[in-house]
Amino acid sequence: MKKDFIVLLIMLIVLFVIILFLPDLIPIHFNWRGEADIVVHKYFLLFGVIIPYSVYWQFFREKRD
């Protein structure tokens, strides 16, 4: 359990460092004309940690029987 928390914390720290170099607003969806129609604040991307952490949780963490 402690190892799982450390992995999540490392993922959050790495993503936070990357986010510091991004502009404040990030387009995340484009319409058929190539125009950004959904723009979010850069810290919204922290929710993206859920995806790689769930892959870790499913495939790489130690299983307890």
Say if 32 falls within a structural domain: yes
Say if 46 falls within a structural domain: yes
Say if 64 falls within a structural domain: no
Q: What angle do CA 53, 50, 48 make, to 5 degrees?
A: 120
Say if 43 falls within a structural domain: yes
Say if 6 falls within a structural domain: yes
pLDDT for the residue 40? 93
Give the domain range for residue 42: 2-59
pLDDT for the residue 2? 84
Residue with tokens 């607003």: 25
Encoded tokens for 16:
């936070």
Q: How many domains does the chain have?
A: 1
pLDDT for the residue 64? 64
Q: Estimate the share of the chain in helix, then strand, then coil, as percent rounded to the nearest 5.
A: 55, 20, 25
Averaged pLDDT in 10-residue chunks for the chain of 65 residues:
85 92 94 94 88 82 66
Say if 49 falls within a structural domain: yes
pLDDT for the residue 13? 92
Say if 65 falls within a structural domain: no
pLDDT for the residue 65? 54
